Amino acid sequence: MEAQRLYFKLSSTIPTSQIQYQRTPFIQILHKASTNNNITLKGSFLKPHVSFDPKVLKCTNCLQRIEREVAIIQLRKKKIAVFVSGSGSNFRSIYEATLEGIVHGEVAVLVTNKDDCGGAKYAREQDIPVILFPKAKNSSVGLSEEDLVDALRAFNIDFILLAGYLKLIPTELVRAFPRSIFNIHPSLLPAFGGKGYYGIKVHKAVIDSGARYSGPTIHHVDEHYDTGRILAQGVVPVLANDTAETLAARVLHEEHKLYVEVAAALCEERIVWREDGVPLIRSKEDPDHYK
C-alpha cells in the first residue's frame, strides 16, 4: 500500500484513507466507486487529469494493466553499472530513462577504460561515481579484476550494461555476475561481430558486403567478443546511397530505443531463460507472449 500512497492521487468521493490503509486491493477499490459519473485518476503511468467512466474501469484489460504497473512500482529498484569507452550516448539514454521512470532502476556507477571520455565526463556531471578499468600499464591508477568485482558488489549491482565498451570483459567478472552482463553491438549478430568489429568499421563492412539490412543486437556477455546468446535486435534498412556515417546514425537511433527497452525489461524482471540458455523478453502487455 505504500507504493499506492506514493504514486497515486484520486480526486473523487473515494476517501484517501481507503487507498492508504485498507487491505482491499487498489483495483477492487476502483470497482467500488461511488455514484459519481467520473473518477479522475492521477498517477505516474497515466496522463494527469484524464477522466474515466467507472464502467470503463471494469474492463478486464484496463484493470490488468493497472495491476501490472502497481506490481512494477512495488519491485525493488535495480542497480545498474554501465561500461563505456566513448561518448556514452547509450549510457545517457538509459540514465535519462531511469530519471523519467521508464526504467525502474538507477545507474549506480560508470566504468570506463578512458578516464577523459565523454561518457565519464557526463557521469561526473550527474554525480555518478566513475571507476577506471582496467588499470593502465605502468600506472597505479585504475582497478584490478578482483578489485572491480569487489567494487561492483559494494555498489550492490544487479546488472552490467556495456555501452560502447571496447575491452574484453574478464572471465572473473563474467563468473561473478552470471546472466547479468549484456552488451550492445551495432550489427545484426552473428554477422559483422567479433574482435576488430567496432564503431564505424562495422558499418563500412555492412555496406561493402551488400547487405540490405542492419541494426543493433543486444546479447548476453560471455568470455569472448560478441558470441553470447542474443536477447534483442532492431532492424534498419541499408539504403543504396548510404555511407558508413549515415548508416551509423540510423543504427545508433535504433540502439537508443532498444537498449532502454531491454533495460526496462531487466529491471522489471521480465527476462526469461530458455532451457538451452537463450534469453527471452516477456511482453509487458501480455505475459504469455515473448519477444
Residue 44 vs residue 110, higher pLDDT = 110
Catalytic residue of the set 185, 203, 219, 220: 185
Q: Are 84 and 112 in contact (CB under 8 A)?
A: yes
Mean pLDDT estimate for the chain: 83
Sign, Cα dihedral of 281, 284, 287, 288 = negative
Q: Are 281 and 259 in contact (CB under 8 A)?
A: no
Label residue 199 exposed, middle or buried (CB < 10 Å: 0-12, 13-18, 19+).
middle
User: How much of the chain, in percent, has pLDDT values that exceed 70?
Assistant: 75
pLDDT value at residue 8: 38
55, three cell numbers? 464502467
Among candidate residues 106, 47, 116, the one with its CA nearest the CA of residue 81: 106
pLDDT value at residue 43: 39
45, three cell numbers? 503511468
How far is the C-alpha of 51 from the C-alpha of 40, rounded, in Å?
5
245, three cell numbers? 556515417
- Whether residue 24 is predicted with pLDDT greater than 60 in this model: the reply is no
Question: How large is the average pLDDT for residues 46-63?
Answer: 51
pLDDT value at residue 13: 38
* Contacts (Cβ under 8 Å, ≥6 apart) of 8: 19, 26, 41, 42, 43
- Whether residue 15 is predicted with pLDDT greater than 50 in this model: the reply is no
- Summarised one tens digit per residue, pLDDT across range 58-102 is 566 666 666 666 666 679 999 999 999 999 999 999 999 999 999
- Summarised one tens digit per residue, pLDDT across range 220-275 is 999 999 999 999 999 999 999 999 999 999 999 999 999 999 999 999 999 999 99
pLDDT value at residue 287: 86
Among candidate residues 136, 198, 139, 194, the one with its CA nearest the CA of residue 166: 198
DSSP H or E run through 55: helix 54-57
pLDDT value at residue 72: 64
The pLDDT confidence band at residue 121, using thresholds 50, 70 and 90, is: very high
Distances (CA, A) of 249 to 157, 176, 195, 246, 252: 31, 35, 22, 5, 5
- Whether residue 49 is predicted with pLDDT greater than 80 in this model: the reply is no
**What pTM value is reported for the model?**
0.76
* Residue 203 falls in the annotated catalytic set: no
- Summarised one tens digit per residue, pLDDT across range 141-160 is 899 999 999 999 999 999 99
How far is the C-alpha of 26 from the C-alpha of 228, rounded, in Å?
42
287, three cell numbers? 505475459
How far is the C-alpha of 92 from the C-alpha of 58, rounded, in Å?
39
pLDDT value at residue 48: 40
Measure CA 4 to chain center. Answer: 24
How far is the C-alpha of 35 from the C-alpha of 31, rounded, in Å?
11
Residue 126 CB neighbour total at 10 angstroms: 12
The pLDDT confidence band at residue 279, using thresholds 50, 70 and 90, is: very high
39, three cell numbers? 473518477
State the first-to-last Cα distance of the chain, in angstroms, to the nearest integer: 32
pLDDT value at residue 74: 78
Question: How large is the average pLDDT for residues 39-61?
Answer: 45
Residues forming beta bridges with residue 184, ordered by sequence position: 218
Residue 127 vs residue 21, higher pLDDT = 127
pLDDT value at residue 135: 82
**HSE-CB of 255 using CA atoms within 13 angstroms:** 27
Q: Which long-range contacts (CB under 8 A, 24 or more apart) does 195-203 make?
A: 195/225, 197/225, 197/226, 198/166, 199/248, 200/244, 200/245, 200/248, 203/244, 203/245, 203/247, 203/248, 203/251
- Whether residue 23 is predicted with pLDDT greater than 90 in this model: the reply is no
Which of 26-35, 76-85, 276-285 has the lowest average pLDDT? 26-35
